[in-house]
Structure 1
Amino acid sequence: MKSKDIAIVGILLAVGAILRYFLAMLHTPLTPNMIIAFYCLAIILIRPNIYEALGIGIVAGILSMLISSSIFPPANLVSEPLGALTCFGLYALIGTRTKLAPAVTTFIATLVSGFSFAIIAILLVSATILAAFHGSIGAFVIVFVPIVVITAVFNAIIVEILYLPSSRVLVRGQE
């Protein structure tokens, strides 16, 4: 990966982390993860190889874990790399087939990341979830699913809006 690409990834992850931190300051039980939108945008713009995409996901997972107010922050160390790999693979498949590829890719990557986070949390900290949600995993799921889906829609819109101007700026920088 070129140093310019590393700078782009760093800037986009920083923007996502700042937005995530701001949302975490609201102290809601579940916080939408804006880092996903920005690492998806980075992967879509620079088109890294699979190992670089995995690295982006790991860095995103560390950032998410450090600034998370979620029920089990270490789950981000698995969910974010899965989201990044989903973004990488899906964009490689549909990137040239539709103009909505950035939105579709980000939407699905957010779902993969969010639902894998939930599964890991349910498996590893079910006692905490039961205590927080009055003895019901179902209540956790009922609260969590809309947050993941709404975040996925929001992330898809953000990436679709930012993709075109961002790609134009990158093309100008190469001239």
Structure 2
Amino acid sequence: MKSKDIAIVGILLAVGAILRYFLAMLHTPLTPNMIIAFYCLAIILIQPKVYEALGIGIVAGVLSMLISSSMFPPANLISEPLGALACFGLYALLKSRTRFAPTATTFIATLVSGFSFAAIAILSIGATILAKYNGNLGNFVIVFVPIVVITAVFNAIIVQILYLPSSRVLVRGQE
């Protein structure tokens, strides 16, 4: 990865982390994970190698874990790399097929990250989750699934909006 690409990834991850931190401070019931949107944008823009995309996901996982107010922050160390790999693979498949590849890629990558986070949390702290949701895992699913889907829609829209101007800036920088 070129130093310019590393700088782009760093800036986008920092912006995502700052936005997530400030949104978490609002104490709303739904705190969108802007880190996912911005690492997807980074992967889409620079089109790294698979191990570089994994590295982006690991860094995103560490950032997410550090500023998370979620039930089990260490789950981010697995869910974010999985989301980054999903983004990498899906964008490689879709980029030449549709101009909405950034939207679809980010939407699916957010679902992968969110649902893998939930699965890891259930496996790791299932008893705590059951206690919080009156012993009914279905209640947890009813609450968690809409949060993940709404976040995926939000992230997909953000990335599609930012993709065109971002890609133009990168093309100008290469001229």
TM-score range, shorter chain: over 0.9
Question: Is the 1:17–1:34 Cα contact (8 Å) retained in structure 2?
Answer: yes
Q: How many residues align?
A: 175
- Classify the secondary structure of the residue corresponding to 1:125: helix
Provide the rounded CA distance (Å) in 2 between the counterparts of 1:22 and 1:130. Answer: 29
- 2:100 is equivalent to residue 106 of structure 1: no
Moved more, 124-133 or 24-33: 24-33
Partner of 1:79: 79
Partner of 2:69: 69
Moved more, 40-49 or 27-36: 27-36
Provide the rounded CA distance (Å) in 1 between the counterparts of 2:48 and 2:4. Answer: 12
Q: List aligned pairs for 1:159-174, cutoff 5 A.
A: 159-174=159-174
Task: Give the CA deviation at 1:127.
Answer: 1.4
Provide the rounded CA distance (Å) in 2 between the counterparts of 1:109 and 1:27. Answer: 25
Gaps of 5+ in 1: none
Provide the rounded CA distance (Å) in 2 between the counterparts of 1:49 and 1:59. Answer: 15
Moved more, 132-141 or 77-86: 132-141
Partner of 2:36: 36
Q: List aligned pairs for 1:135-146, cutoff 5 A.
A: 135-146=135-146
- Classify the secondary structure of the residue corresponding to 2:141: helix
Superposition CA RMSD, Å = 1.1
Task: Give the CA deviation at 1:129.
Answer: 0.9
Gaps of 5+ in 2: none
- Classify the secondary structure of the residue corresponding to 1:51: helix
- 126 and 27 in structure 1: CA distance in 2 versus 1, 3 angstrom threshold: farther
TM-score (norm. length: structure 2): 0.96
Q: Identical aligned pairs, as a percentage?
A: 86
